């Protein structure tokens, strides 16, 4: 039986000391996994993400490490959920194993599970496979976070994993999702992205300046996540179709999905403005605003040019420059204010 090595005693509000996590290799001697170093975490972000690899480095510590680790844990879940070569039940079984690890089940062997996942190759992406192999270190990193942040990450990653298993229960035997309505698409987006918005919000409102504004932020957070996810689904629709899957319900008009994405991005702009009005730090404003600007630019291209349209590097660079310029002036970018509309 595997047991977790304790992290020592520490009171509420204090950061946990560096953590080691003991995992078992069947009858072999236990192996102690160390938390990822900052450079390792940054390398994995660069290899496994797109927009977030640009946005997360804008954050200051401790949020930079907490959000980065949250992304990587969710990337593990997404890799298992989206394993195209695995059957539905193989994916659900793998997610159940990850759920057991997050619940700190003493019978769950992180080293054995991560080795099995990697050997069965749920993806051909080398970054994803290498990340799976470091699952024990991801869990050790989670143990080492400040207590409040660690609890938030564990709660929301666990909810995501459980939601993914539930969605897969209604998939075909080959694991293809069958979303049949706009509401089912929204339900899926909540699991894979709306919960991320809620996770980030709970980390943000640990800042006492933002706590009084938490009801409004919490109301807008899942719409922010839904909007970003819908834009990604629209953007990747052509590639998904080539690979034999589609997240766009066949009976739903494309224009209805585009309209919903646009409405969600308005909510996202109001979320950013609420952070600004609450006195959020510049790094949090930069981190939340950049994905919004890129999503809005992408949606405009998709509406004009159709699935597969992507913003150019030049557009990304110009958006980042405009964002930093606005924040240096102590304002939000004009595009965000225009999208958010008049202040109530």
Weakest-pLDDT range from 137-141, 235-239, 254-258: 235-239
**What single string gives the DSSP state of each residue in 30-42?**
PEEEPPPPHHHHH
- Report the length, in residues, of the chain: 344
Helix, strand, or coil here: 15?
strand
Q: Give the model confidence (pLDDT) of 181-207 as tens digits.
A: 999 999 999 999 999 999 999 999 999
Give the whole-angstrom CA distance, residue 144 versus residue 39. 16
Please state which CATH number belongs to domain 179-344: 1.10.600.10
Where residue 26 falls (left for φ over 0; alpha for ψ -120 to 50; beta otherwise) is left
Above 60 in pLDDT, residue 14?
Answer: no
Alpha-carbon distance 138 to 174, whole Å?
A: 29
Is the model's pLDDT at 21 over the cut of 80? no
Query: What's the token pair of residue 102?
Result: 């997050």
The pLDDT value given to residue 243: 67
Least reliable range by pLDDT among 164-168, 183-187, 304-308? 304-308
Measure the CA–CA gap between 288 and 292, rounded to whole angstroms: 7
Q: Coil, strand, or helix at residue 114?
A: helix
The domain limits of the chain are 34-175, 179-344
pLDDT in tens, 86-97: 999 999 999 999
Of 6, 134, 156, 159, the residue nearest 66 (C-alpha): 156
Q: Which residue shows structure tokens 């394993």? A: 83
Q: Is the pTM of this model over 0.85?
A: yes
Report how far residue 77's alpha carbon sits from residue 159's, in angstroms, rounded to the nearest whole number.
11
Does the structure show a pLDDT above 60 at 28?
no
pLDDT higher than 80, residue 20: no
Is the pLDDT reported for residue 116 higher than 70? yes
Q: Does the domain made of 34-175 have the CATH classification 3.40.50.300?
A: no
| Same fold yes or no, 34-175 and 179-344 | yes
Flag whether pLDDT at 213 surpasses 50. yes
Q: Bigger pLDDT: 293 or 245?
A: 293
Q: What is the pLDDT of residue 241?
A: 72
Confidence tier at 26 by pLDDT (50, 70, 90): very low
Pick the residue with more confidence: 182 or 8?
182
């Amino acid at each position: 039986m595997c047991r977790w090595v304790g992290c020592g005693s520490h009171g509420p509000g204090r950061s946990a000391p560096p953590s080691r996590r003991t995992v078992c290799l069947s009858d072999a001697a236990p192996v102690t996994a160390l938390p990822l170093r900052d450079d390792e975490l940054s390398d994995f972000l660069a290899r496994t993400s797109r927009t977030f690899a640009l946005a997360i480095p804008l954050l200051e510590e401790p949020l930079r490490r907490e959000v980065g680790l949250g992304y990587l844990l969710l990337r593990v879940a997404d890799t298992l959920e989206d394993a195209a070569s695995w059957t539905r039940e193989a994916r659900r079984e793998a997610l159940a194993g990850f759920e057991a690890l997050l619940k700190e089940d003493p019978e769950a062997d992180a080293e054995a599970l991560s080795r099995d996942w990697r050997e069965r190759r749920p993806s051909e992406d080398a970054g994803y496979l290498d990340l799976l192999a470091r699952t024990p270190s991801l869990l050790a990193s989670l143990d080492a976070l400040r207590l409040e942040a660690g609890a938030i990450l564990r709660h929301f990653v666990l909810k995501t994993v459980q939601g993914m298993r539930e969605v897969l229960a209604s998939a075909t035997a080959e694991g293809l999702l069958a979303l049949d309505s706009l509401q089912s698409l929204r339900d899926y987006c909540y699991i894979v992205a709306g919960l991320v918005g809620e996770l980030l919000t709970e980390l943000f409102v640990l800042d006492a300046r933002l706590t009084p504004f938490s009801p409004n932020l919490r109301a807008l957070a899942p719409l922010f996540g839904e909007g970003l996810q819908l834009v990604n689904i629209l953007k990747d629709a052509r590639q998904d179709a080539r690979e034999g899957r589609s997240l766009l319900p066949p009976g739903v008009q494309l224009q209805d999905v585009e309209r919903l994405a646009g409405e969600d991005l308005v909510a996202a702009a109001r979320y950013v403005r609420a952070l600004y009005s609450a006195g959020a730090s510049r790094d949090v404003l930069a981190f939340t605003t950049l994905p919004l600007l890129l999503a809005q630019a992408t949606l405009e291209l998709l509406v004009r040019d159709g699935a597969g349209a992507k913003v150019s590097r030049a557009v990304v660079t110009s958006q980042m420059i405009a964002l930093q310029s606005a924040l240096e002036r102590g304002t939000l970018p004009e595009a965000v204010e225009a999208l958010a509309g008049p202040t109530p």
